[in-house]
Chain A
Amino acid sequence: MTDDHISDERTSTEPLLAVDGLRVHVRTERETIRAVDGVSFELCRGETVCLIGESGSGKSVTCESLTRLVPEPPFEIVGGCVEFEGRDLFAADTGRCRRVRGDRIAHVFQNPQSALDPVYTVGEQLIETIEIHEDVPKTNARDRAIGLLRQVGIPRPADRIDDYPHEFSGGMCQRVAIAIALTAEPDLVVADEPTTAVDVTVQARLIELLREVTDGGTSLLVVTHDLRVAAALADRLLVMYGGTIVERGPIEELFERPAHPYTQALFESYAGRSAGSDRTARGDVPADGCRFRSECPHAVEACSDGEQPPFYAVGDDSDRRASCVHYGPGNDPGAVLEAGATIAEAEGSDD
């Protein structure tokens, strides 16, 4: 869909992760769904990027495809490449991919239970992970496991290390899962809805914990449907809709004035009481042209041409891009931008 994605990122430092034109299909008996349809982005060292979208936008599949965690089949990575520190993760033999996946890129999921085995104590699981990654004697591994538990804020870690996952609350389980993710001191943590299953007071602590992780220099890719979580964590935001990224930019500018009509619709769903939508319940995503056009209040004829529109710069802001024809050359995006500012203001006053 776009060729200028590399140049439109900050290129001052070499990116840690570069995703280019990623395409993932899901084959079912009846049809083939283009779950991820040409996704490109970069992530720098120490940076926190949020991939935001609703269920079915393809955000989770994108993240799980980076390290080929998606089950193939039914998923199939049909195109694109993922580079980690300049090395092609897809071209590399699977052994190396696995090593990078385990050592350098760690995953944290919405449901920590999926990362923890109920029949082993958290200590056994942590120690096992430690021993996979480094050659250490058992007692040192245990000390290191206790240290990791303390680092992620488990009270009385030396007492708790021999407990089973079910003896921990949901929030504490997620901390343990983060501890396991941190054992190999990864360069990148990919967290998929890491705070969705917990209460807000627990979420607040997990957000602080994730901030600590990035303060230590680790990069973070957070997948979320929650604008608030994005606002709390991200340096940059990627907005995903219908398998593609439709808007990207630094968090503060983007929140101040969402540019893409889809992003605006997402913000609107947070605004005041009863957004009064008359959208039909069943919105199908078109297969060509702008994926959002059947729901877009700003749609024009050009929106159904060809593929998803390329990324155009939003205003004078060199870091911001929207995949919408109104930002294209010769068009005046004034009305669309204005709508974004109004929505952001309404949502802000409600906060």
Chain B
Amino acid sequence: MTERFPKGDAEADRAGASDTNSPLLEVDGLETHFPITTRWLRREVGRIRAVDGVSFAIDRGEAFGLVGESGSGKTTAAHSILGLEEPTGGAVRFDGQLVDELTGWELQQFRRRAQLVVQNPDDAFNPRLPVGKSVAEPLALHGMDDEERRRAIVADLLERVGLEATDANRFPHEFSGGEKQRLSIARALVVNPDLIVADEPTSALDGRVKADVLSLLDELRREFDIAVLCISHDIDVVRRFCDRVGVMYLGELVERGETEAVLESPAHPYTRVLIGSIPSLDPSDRSLVRPLTETVPAPSDPPSGCRFHPRCQELIPPTASLEREDWRAIARFRFALQEGTVPEPIAVDSGTRVDPETVRDAFDLPTDLPNEGIEDAVEAATRAVADGDLERARERLAESLSTVCERTQPEAGDECEHLVRCHRYDSTIEAEPIPWRG
């Protein structure tokens, strides 16, 4: 590339003076809650805890992936970092400076240095404008008045992203999806950013086009030493592209570490479900991991303690005397009743009565448990379900099966090399980590 957007003097100064060991982006306890208000008085009746205490840092030139499923809060987190959404708590530092304290020229610099690339490039381009104009737009916005220079920079960049300089005169509809995503990458690059926030950058693409766009992004970030925050639900994208990764569940970061460590030997039970749900490329291995229960709780009413507990296969038992499989069956029984998913043939909703044995069979409940309290509770709950009284069954189980996982919020565990928020990795709690695929 012959020419790029010039760095400002003050910035060059600061770059010389600033502590290069400090990360480019530091996100510390980020919190973005949305109030749920009544229609009339706009009284707050609840909060959607979209992002609830997320921390990570990204070094210059590093690619960090934020993965999670819909409702995990990963996109809200990205938007909050860029100031497109107002955080309700925590701190975001860019180059050591608090982003929400930036004003005037400094704020402008932040907006130039941190660029967003969105999933659907159609949103980023005006259909009536030649793409060259759209790509050049950020330049004009950041004060480059010389149209000739703008044109030269754009021509250069278009070639750099695998298009042709003459493409600048064409209109968005003349480009394929992959080409459009190349254009939006060019548009982000045109102002010489230090950070690109890529929100599902390849989700609208497939196969080789997707791989090509990813490779391009990877090349560019290495060439220009740009840090990338990559938001994705696609583990393959993160595996290929990111140095480190954070896994989000219901607004919280549950695991964070080197990509290889997190994806090849996931520690957190939720990460394990996520990885285990991806079909293998080996057709002879068709196993798919299942969480304890299916329903993802609402972020407005997250479960107590560990937010993953009603779905966790590794839930810590109230007493060590239970066999793992027995405990899993009992816990599944409890949380299935809680979420209201009752297997056939106990169609409670249709009012059919069944006998307790049928209930036991349907849930594969163990008999002769070593712990009398638990045995009694399961017995009583089974009878309650047979009578069609789900509420009584739920209460009875909640009373006797209380686990540390629902009582206490897990902190970062000390029994893992990287960050894992799960009691099993906390040496003060009497439960050991279960080996992956163990």
A residues engaging B (CB < 8 A)? 53-55, 146, 150, 155-159, 170, 199-205, 207-208, 225-232, 234, 251-252, 255, 265-266, 268-270, 272-277, 279-282, 347-348, 350-351
Contacts and interface: CB of A to CB of B under 8 A. Distances in A.
B19 interface: no
Contacts, number: 135
A204 B162 contact: no
A328 to B, nearest CB: 25
Contacts of B291: 201
B342 interface: yes
B363 to A, nearest CB: 14
Interface in B297-329: none
Nearest to A255: B283
Given A199-B233, A201-B69, A231 B208 contact: no
Nearest to A143: B350
Contacts of A270: 211, 236, 281
B282 A255 contact: yes
A146 to B, nearest CB: 7
A292 to B, nearest CB: 11
Contacts of A273: 218, 239-241
A201 B283 contact: no
Interface in B259-273: 273
A255 B281 contact: yes
Contact of B212 (A158, A205, A277, A347): A277
B288 interface: yes
A270 B202 CA distance: 14
A284 to B, nearest CB: 11
A242 to B, nearest CB: 13
Most chain B CB inside 10 Å of its own CB: which residue of A55, A201, A227, A274: A201
B282 A231 contact: yes
Contacts of A229: 279
A277 B216 CA distance: 9
Nearest to B351: A158
B177 A269 contact: no
Contacts of B143: none
Interface range on chain B (Cβ under 8 Å from partner): 35 or more
Contacts of A282: 176, 179
B179 A281 contact: yes
Contacts of A207: 279, 288
16 contacts: A54-B208, A146-B350, A155-B339, A200-B278, A201-B69, A204-B290, A228-B280, A231-B283, A252-B284, A255-B281, A269-B212, A281-B178, A281-B212, A348-B281, A351-B281, A351-B282
B334 interface: no
Contact of A155 (B70, B211, B286, B340): B340
Given A281-B162, A348-B281, A150 B208 contact: no
> Looking at A266, A274, A276, A348, which has the most chain B CB atoms within 10 Å of its CB?
A274
Sorted from nearest, which 8 A-B pairs have the closest CB atoms? Answer: A232-B279, A269-B211, A155-B341, A54-B207, A199-B69, A225-B206, A204-B277, A158-B349
Contacts of A274: 214-215, 218-219, 240-241
B165 interface: no
Interface centre among B208, B218, B283, B295 (most CB of A within 10 A): B283
B113 interface: no
A228 B207 CA distance: 12
B144 interface: no
B207 A269 contact: yes
A228 B212 contact: no
A285 to B, nearest CB: 12
